[in-house]
């Protein structure tokens, strides 16, 4: 099968490449695209430079129609701007990549008769869910420019299904964590702060709850949806594991033999959703069973970042600069 993977050197996209390499032994011929802007993505790219079944284009998703690839069987769209703080500062960038970029990719699929398209969205499109668990049929109520851009991309997908008869499956994964996650996200940023002599920074009182999903379980879920999913369906992806940010911070501190004095509470960010929680029974009904436990994985992740400082330290320094403007609209 010939597969086009966008955002292939980002966090989930890169882990998906590695997942295919480990589990499918060359069964997929992969065309990858990525803008390769960050140091982490440049380092990720090195591993696949000599792969026999991997062809790569260094382009922005909005330039997808410039490539000459007419024999694609499947497109998986991981390409996205995904950090909420950055979307508060620069929503235009998120609209360009997440909305306009998805539109360009769908046009590419339609023009090249690709009738198998998997779009990676997010559980954040539901907005904050205080007490219950969001179903795929629930109304979308995004809070941030990031989640609004992802909800908008889903509407573009829906339009291509209805107008052009395309087959598009939408995945809404919970909060991903794991190795190779960029240092702007909570777990790697916290580990990087501690390893650099700084403290963990938590917004508000740190009681915001997230549904934590290991990236390898996300990869497993995508393959389950590819193999068993219904055409033009939406699937929540979850793990059933819910922890607030203080609990995550304490697990990180424990993994590094530090105590809670290393937690610093800072001003909350605007529009900060309190709780994300999805019902993923629909996915379980087609065979998905999560395999990772965050309580045991945190130590593995902390050790990985400790042993791979050269992978994240340059981008971490940029994150420190960006966070000084995290609530200011440019």
Catalytic positions: 123-124, 146
Which ranges of the chain does DSSP label H, i.e. alpha helix?
11-24, 39-47, 84-89, 91-94, 101-111, 145-164, 186-195, 215-228, 245-255, 281-284, 294-307, 309-322
Q: What is the DSSP letter of 99?
A: I
Q: How far apart are CA 249 and CA 243, in angstroms?
A: 10
User: Which residues have a Cβ under 8 Å from the Cβ of 106 and sit 6 or more positions away?
Assistant: 117, 156, 157, 160, 166, 168
Q: How far apart are CA 123 and CA 106, in angstroms?
A: 21
Displacement of CA 109 from its chain's centroid (Å): 22
User: Which residues have a Cβ under 8 Å from the Cβ of 165 and sit 6 or more positions away?
Assistant: none
H/E stretch holding 173 reads: strand 168-173
Let me know: does 242 contact 211? Beta carbons within 8 Å: yes
The three-state secondary structure class of 240 is coil
Q: How far apart are CA 78 and CA 170, in angstroms?
A: 11
Q: How far apart are CA 37 and CA 302, in angstroms?
A: 25
């Amino acid at each position: 099968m010939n597969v086009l993977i966008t955002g292939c050197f980002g966090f989930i996209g890169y882990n998906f490449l590695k997942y295919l390499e480990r589990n499918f032994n060359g069964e997929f011929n992969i065309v990858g695209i990525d803008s390769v802007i960050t140091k982490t993505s440049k380092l990720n790219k090195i591993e696949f430079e000599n792969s026999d079944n991997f062809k790569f284009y260094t382009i922005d998703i909005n330039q997808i129609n410039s490539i000459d690839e007419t024999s694609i069987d499947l497109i998986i769209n991981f390409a996205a701007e995904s950090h909420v703080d950055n979307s508060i500062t620069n929503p235009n960038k998120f609209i360009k990549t997440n909305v306009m970029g998805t539109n360009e990719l769908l046009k590419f699929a339609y023009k090249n008769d690709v009738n198998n398209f998997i779009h990676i969205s997010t559980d954040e499109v539901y907005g904050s869910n205080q007490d219950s668990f969001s179903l795929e049929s629930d109304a979308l109520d995004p809070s941030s420019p990031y989640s609004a851009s992802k909800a908008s991309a889903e509407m573009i997908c829906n339009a291509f299904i209805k107008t052009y008869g395309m087959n598009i499956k939408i995945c809404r994964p919970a909060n991903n964590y794991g190795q190779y996650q960029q240092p702007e996200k909570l777990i790697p940023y916290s580990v990087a702060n501690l390893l650099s002599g700084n403290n963990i920074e938590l917004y508000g009182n740190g009681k915001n709850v997230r549904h934590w999903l290991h990236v390898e379980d996300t990869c497993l879920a995508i393959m389950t949806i590819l193999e068993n999913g219904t055409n033009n369906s939406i699937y929540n992806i979850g793990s059933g594991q819910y922890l607030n940010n203080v609990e995550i911070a304490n697990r990180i501190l424990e993994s590094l033999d530090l105590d809670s004095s290393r937690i610093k509470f800072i001003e909350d960010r605007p529009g900060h959703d309190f709780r994300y929680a999805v019902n993923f029974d629909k996915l379980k009904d087609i065979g998905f069973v999560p395999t990772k436990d965050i309580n045991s994985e945190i130590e593995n992740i902390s050790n990985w970042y400790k042993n791979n400082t050269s992978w994240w330290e340059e981008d971490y320094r940029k994150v420190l600069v960006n966070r000084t403007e995290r609530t200011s609209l440019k």
